[in-house]
Amino acid sequence: EVQLVQSGAELRKPGDSLKISCKSSGYSFTAHWIAWVRQVPGKGLEWLATVYPDDSDVKSSPSFQGRVTISVDKASATTYLQLNRLRASDTAIYYCARPHSGIFSHLDFWGQGTLVTVSS
């Protein structure tokens, strides 16, 4: 059974950095990209970045380039999202999700989400 399990809720201050995780299981971790998507409470979905775990190739949304870093630990099948210079508008639920095939594909499995609150 494919599962993506994310780390727990985080509280940060403006200007801080954040690193959250997404652990994959039930499939070949290095054979599928992993995407990060966020959702501001009560709002729509926004793509941040996507990584290919086999070689750590990363594609980022222009809206987040320079602030987002994606890393991978193949040994534990875990993907990490780091977001720097946090602001209040980064308060959102952050999801990892698996594209079905290739980098830009429909998302067939999702993590449960990690709530990130940025507040002074």
Partner 1 sequence: DIQMTQSPSTLSASVGDRVTITCRASQSINTRLAWYQQKPGKAPNLLIFKASNLERGVPSRFSGSGSGTEFTLTISSLQPDDFATYYCHQYDSSWTFGQGTKVEIK
Residues at the contact surface with partner 1, assessed by CB under 8 A: 35, 37, 43-47, 61, 95, 97, 99-100, 104-108, 110-113
Least distance from C-beta 76 to partner 1, angstroms? 22
Contact assessment for residue 117 and residue 11, using Cβ atoms and an 8 Å cutoff: yes
**Cα–Cα distance for residue pair 11/79, rounded to 1 Å:** 20
Looking at beta carbons only, is 6 or 78 nearer to partner 1? Answer: 6
Least distance from C-beta 83 to partner 1, angstroms? 18
Looking at beta carbons only, is 73 or 108 nearer to partner 1? Answer: 108
Least distance from C-beta 95 to partner 1, angstroms? 6
**Cα–Cα distance for residue pair 119/11, rounded to 1 Å:** 7
**Cα–Cα distance for residue pair 120/111, rounded to 1 Å:** 28
Looking at beta carbons only, is 41 or 120 nearer to partner 1? Answer: 41
Contact assessment for residue 117 and residue 10, using Cβ atoms and an 8 Å cutoff: yes
